[in-house]
Chain A
Amino acid sequence: MAAPQGGHFGRILEIDLTRQEHKVVNIDAEICRAYIGGAGLAVHLLFDALKAKHDPMAEDSPIFVGPGPLNGTYCVSTRVSFANKSPYTGLLSHAETGGHFPNEIKWAGWDGIFIRGRSKSPVYLYIKDDEVRFMDARAIWGKDTYETEEMILNQIKEPYARVACIGPAGENEVPYACVIVERFRAAARTSTGCLMGNKKLKGIAVRGTKAVPVVDMDKFYAAARVSKQFAVDNEGWQGLKRWGTAGLLELKHFVTGSLITKNFQTTWYPDIEEIGAEQANRSFWQKHSACNHCPVHCMKLGVIRGGDYDGLIAEGPEYETGGLLGSNLGIADFDGMMAAIELCDAMGLDSISTGGCLGFTMELVQRGILTSADLDGVSLEWGDFEAVLEMIKKITYKEGKAGKLLAKGVRRMAEEIGKGSMDYAVHVKGKEIAAHDPRGDKPRAVSYTMGTCGGDHHEANSPAGQAKRCMHNSLVVCSFVGGYWSPKMFTDMLGPLCGWNMTEEEFWTTAKRIRTLERCFQVREGISRKDDVLPKRMLTEKLPEGPKKGAVVTPAEMKKIQDDYYAYYGWDDNGIPTEATLKALGLEFAIDQIKGA
C-alpha cells in the first residue's frame, strides 16, 4: 500500500459516535487517483460500507465529509462534499458547500471525516489538527444554527475555527433538514442534517494549522495562478460578483422563462421586481462574502431596516431561495421573503424542499383539496408570508397535524392526501425540484432527471457536463468557478500537485468511473429508467404565459435525454451500467452487486 505523494494526506478520520472513539484510516494512493476525493471518494467508501436497501437511519449508517485534493492549496474556490444515503429518498446523495470549513479540514490533515454510530447524549466534534474531542452539546441542543455556531466557538475558545452544525429541524429529524456551515452556507438536499440529528451530532468545529503536501510547488503555483487569473478575468463571473445568483431571478423571469411560480403553474411573475436582485441591491445588501480564496464572492449579506423585521440580518436572496420562498409562494414582499429565507437557515431546513412543500400545499388549498382545517387553522394563501413563517416553524418542530404532514415532503404528502394531488406533486425520485422550470429551461431537465441525487438543479445540463461536474464535486471545486475551467486546467494543476501524469483522457475516464459507481449504488436501491423522468406536470401542462409560452417537455424529448445519456456512459437501455462498461472502468466488484436489482 502506497501513501499518496501530494494533494492527499492519505488519512481519513473515522469517528465512532457510539463509543466516542476515533481512529485513523489510511487510504491508498491508487484509490486517491481512481476516485480523487470529495464526492468520488464518498461513493467509493459508501458503496462498500452499505449493503443494498440498508436502512439509512440505522446506527451504523455513515456520513462522509470530504474535501478533495485541491482543498487547502493555492487553487481558488474549493468546497467540501457531505455524502450519505438519504433517509428522504433512500438514495445516495451528496451536497457540496463552501466557506472556510472545507479547507480547515484539509489543513487539519484529513482527507475526510467518516462518521458512524449514534451518541447517547448530544455531542459536537472539535477537531484541531490530530486532536479530536467529543464535546458535550446538551446545553446547545435546541438552539438555532446561529446561536449554535457562536456557542461552540465560545466554548472551544478558538475564534478562527470553522463550524458546520444543524438546527432544530435536524434535531427533530425533519427529513429535509440540512447542515449549515458558517451561519449562512448550506449543505442541503441530502438529509445530512436529519442523519446528524439522529446520531445526536450537533456540529463539527475544525481548525487546522498544517500545509497540504505538494509534489512540485513551482509548477503547481504557476498552474493555479493561471486558473485563478481565468476566474478573475472571465466575463461569466462578472454578473455573479455584482449580483450573486439573485440576478437570475429577473433573468429567468424576463428572458429564459423558467422562473418557478406558484408551484410550477406558470413562469411569469411580474412581482419579481419587488423581490429580485435590484430590490435587494437598493434596500438590503450591505456586504459581499467569499468562500476561501474566491474572487467571485457571490454571497451577499444584508440587514432589514424598518418594518416588522427591523434589524434582521440575512443572506440572499439567492436564485434558489428567492425562487422557492419568493415567487413559488407568490410572495411580493421583500422583507417577508427574507424573513422566510433567514428562518430556514436558522432552523437548518433545506429552503428548496421547504419551498417546494409549501408551494405544493398552497396549490392544494387553491384547488380546495386541503382546507385550513387540515392545516391547524393556518390559511396558506399565495403570498401570505406570515402564514409561511408560521408553517416553517411548525415543520421544524413537526408541530401539530400540519407540521407532521409538511415534514414528509411532497411525494409522501401526495400519497397520503390522495384526491388527485399527485398531479401537482413536482418531484424527481422523491425530491422536490429546484427553481428552474424545465419547460422553459429544457437542458435543466438533464440535471433534474439524470443527476445522481434526483431533483438536483446543480448536476449540469448535458451528459459530458455531468461527467465534468463529477470531477468538480470530487476535487472539490465550486462549479461556478470550476465550471469555466477546461479539463486541461485541472490536469495541469493535478500533475504537479499529486505527482500524477494525468491526461485529459484519464480525466474523463475518472469522471465516468465516479458517475457509474454512483449509478450502481442507485441501481442497487432499485433505480432504473422508469425513475429518470420528470413529474407529470412538466410533460403534460403547457406554460400558460411568459417568454416560453406553450412550452412543454414532450415524451420524445424526455426519451432522447435518457437515450443520449445512457449511450454516453455505456449503460443499457434500462439505465443499468453494462458489464463491459464496469470492467472497462475498473468497477468489476460492482457487477454482482447490481445483478437482479
Chain B
Amino acid sequence: MEKDGERIRNVFETEATRRGFLKGVGLATGAAVAAAAVGRIKPAAAAKQAAPEPVKKYLFAERQNCVGCRACEYACSMFHEKTVRPAKARIHVLKYKGVVDVPVICWHCDDAPCIEACPTTPKAIEKDPKANGIKLNKDLCLGAKCNKCIEACPAKFIRRDPDDGQVLMCDLCDGDPECVKACLAQSGNPMGPCLMTGKVGFGVNLAYRNVTPEEAADDLLRRLFYPNETGERRK
C-alpha cells in the first residue's frame, strides 16, 4: 500500500510541478505553452527551471470519507508512544450520534492561535520550520495548570495527556505523517482515504479550521443523511 501512497503523492507533486513550470515559462509564447500541455516537453526537464519552494506541509481530512476505524489513532500512538494507546494519540475520531465519524485533526494554521496564546517565554510550543508541525517542549509546558492553547484552538483539537496533563500536539511526524499512511493502507473505502497531507493550497486550512468537531459532525450528518437533518430516529 506504500506504493499507492507514493502514487498519490506523485500525482500531487507532478501537478504542482506543472503549475510551477507554467508560471516559469509565462513569458514564453502561447504556442510553447500549448506544446508543453500536450506533453512534448517533459515536466521533469521543466522541474529544473522552477525554483525549489520550502516544503511546508499541512494535514487535511476529507471528512465524508472517514469510516471510523481509528487506524490513524493507532498509527499515531505507535509512532509517538511505541504502544497502542489512543488516549495519547495526536489525532482522534469522534463518533457523532452513532452515525457519522469526524477525524479531529490539527490544521497547522499559519497564524497558529495556540502558539500565540502560549504564556511561557520562550514558548513551550512552536512550529518546526522543516515540516510545519508543532513541537512541544515538555520542560516549558505548564501542563494542567494552564489552559491557554486548548482555549485558543479554533478547531477544539488539543487534548491533554492523561498521564502528566501536558498537551498533545501534532508534529506531523517530521513531515511524513503516520496517520495519513495508515488511512491509505486501510484502502477499500470506495471514496478513497480520508486523511491526506500536502503543501500550501492543498491544506485549505483557514476555511475548515473554525468549526468544532461537533459542528463538523452536524454538518456532515446534514449533508450525507439529508433529509434527516438531526440524525434523530424517525417513525
- Contacts from A to B (Cβ < 8 Å): 72-74, 100, 107, 144, 146-147, 149-150, 159-160, 182-184, 208-212, 214, 217, 221, 228-229, 232, 237-238, 241-242, 286-297, 301, 303, 305, 308-313, 339, 342-343, 346
Contacts and interface: CB of A to CB of B under 8 A. Distances in A.
Given A214-B83, A292-B70, A297-B188, 13 more contacts: A73-B84, A147-B233, A183-B99, A237-B188, A242-B190, A287-B64, A287-B99, A289-B101, A292-B69, A295-B71, A310-B234, A311-B227, A343-B235
Q: Across chains A and B, which 9 residue pairs bring their CB atoms closest together, nearest first?
A: A183-B98, A209-B87, A290-B69, A311-B228, A211-B85, A241-B188, A209-B162, A303-B225, A290-B67
B87 A107 contact: yes
Nearest to B64: A287
Interface stretch (B38-46, B74-82, B140-148): B74-82
A293 B71 contact: yes
A459 to B, nearest CB: 26
A221 B77 CA distance: 13
Contacts of B70: 100, 292-293
A210 B98 contact: no
Contacts of B99: 183, 287, 301, 313
Nearest to A287: B224
Given A312-B228, A313-B228, A149 B98 contact: yes
B74 A74 contact: yes
B188 A238 contact: yes
B67 A211 contact: no
B175 interface: no
B55 interface: no
A74 B71 CA distance: 9
A160 B92 contact: yes
Contacts of B226: 303, 305
Interface in B202-235: 214, 224-228, 231, 233-235
A242 B189 CA distance: 8
B50 interface: no
A297 B200 CA distance: 32
A286 B101 CA distance: 13
Nearest to A159: B94
Nearest to A208: B87
A81 to B, nearest CB: 20
Contacts of A228: 185
Nearest to A211: B85
Q: Is the interface of B mostly helix, strand, loop or mixed?
A: loop
Contacts of B227: 303, 305, 310-311
11 contacts: A144-B233, A150-B97, A184-B98, A232-B1, A232-B188, A287-B100, A287-B224, A293-B74, A297-B188, A310-B234, A346-B233
Contacts of B84: 72-74, 211-212
A149 to B, nearest CB: 6
A182 B98 contact: yes
B187 A286 contact: no
Contacts of A100: 68, 70, 95
A309 B74 contact: no
Contacts of B97: 150, 183
Interface in B167-204: 185-190
A288 B187 contact: no
Given A309-B235, A312-B235, A295 B187 contact: yes
A184 B71 CA distance: 20
A293 B69 contact: yes
A288 B189 contact: yes
Contact of B67 (A149, A150, A288): A288
Contacts of B233: 144, 146-147, 313, 342, 346
A288 B100 CA distance: 9
Contacts of B1: 229, 232
B67 A289 contact: yes
Contact of A296 (B81, B87, B188): B188
B93 to A, nearest CB: 9
Nearest to B162: A209
B20 interface: no
B230 to A, nearest CB: 9
A293 B227 CA distance: 30
Contacts of B133: none
Contacts of A293: 69-71, 74
A297 B67 contact: yes
A160 B94 contact: yes
B95 to A, nearest CB: 7
B235 A339 contact: yes
A7 to B, nearest CB: 12
Given A286-B224, A303-B226, A146 B188 contact: no
Given A289-B101, A301-B99, A312-B234, A295 B87 contact: no
A209 B74 CA distance: 13
A151 to B, nearest CB: 12
B234 A221 contact: no
A113 to B, nearest CB: 19
Contacts of B64: 287
B86 interface: yes
Contacts of B69: 290-295, 297
Contacts of B162: 209
Interface centre among A208, A229, A305, A311 (most CB of B within 10 A): A311
Nearest to A309: B235
Contacts of B224: 286-287, 303
A232 B185 contact: yes
A285 to B, nearest CB: 10
Contacts of B185: 228, 232, 295
A290 B68 contact: yes
Contacts of A241: 188-189
A212 B77 CA distance: 13
Contacts of B95: 100, 182
B235 A211 contact: no
A102 to B, nearest CB: 12
Contacts of A208: 87
A311 B234 contact: yes
Contacts of B78: 74, 221
Nearest to A104: B86
A289 B220 CA distance: 14
Nearest to A221: B78
Contacts of A310: 227, 234
Contacts of A211: 77, 81, 83-85
Nearest to A286: B224
Contacts of A183: 97-99
A147 B233 CA distance: 8
Contacts of A289: 67-68, 101
